[in-house]
Amino acid sequence: MNKTFDKSLPLAIGSDHAGFEYKEEIKKKLQAAGWLVEDKGTYSLDSTDYPDYAHPLATMVEDGKATAGILICGSGNGVCMTANKHAGIRAALCWTDELASLARQHNNANVLCIPSRFVSLQLSEQMTDTFLATEFEGGRHEKRVEKI
């Protein structure tokens, strides 16, 4: 199992209207840090349906065309539930930096889900940085992840 994310592959990002502004800011920060970012939408504040963006992002990660994904919606639940319908996706809903770290360390999460209506932009950016920088610990956690 990969312990880190492959920076030679794109990082997929997507949101619905509730997560659009955070997505745009996180995308800029990631690009400035050298990530190749594949934006799966939405592209405005117009009301939209989160599965329309979560499914294509999850497919991209599932197919190995993206190293990982970041999904953002109002509660984080909708995008998380949608992404987790895909085999090989381990999407984690996080609202603290520690959860983002543990999602990687213990669960080898490959999609970070952010609840934009419940966390600040600053915390969202911090969780993204932590998620991308944290390695999967493997060991006793590996057998558990394999059971997923």
Catalytic residue among 73, 80, 94, 113: 73
Name the pTM for this structure: 0.95
Would residue 109 count as lying in a domain?
A: yes
CATH code of residue 105: 3.40.1400.10
Would residue 2 count as lying in a domain?
A: no
Would residue 3 count as lying in a domain?
A: no
Q: How many domains does the chain have?
A: 1
Reading the chain (148 residues) residue by residue, the pLDDT tens digits are 557 788 899 999 999 999 999 999 999 999 999 999 999 999 999 999 999 999 999 999 999 999 999 999 999 999 999 999 999 999 999 999 999 999 999 999 999 999 999 999 999 999 999 999 999 977 788 888 887 8
| 86 given a catalytic annotation | no
Q: What backbone torsions phi and psi does residue 137 show, to the nearest 5 degrees?
A: -75, -25
| Helices 140-147, 97-107: inter-axial angle, 10-degree rounding | 90
Would residue 112 count as lying in a domain?
A: yes
Catalytic residue among 17, 55, 80, 106: 106
| 73 given a catalytic annotation | yes
Q: By residue range, what is the domain housing residue 139?
A: 11-147
Would residue 70 count as lying in a domain?
A: yes
Would residue 125 count as lying in a domain?
A: yes
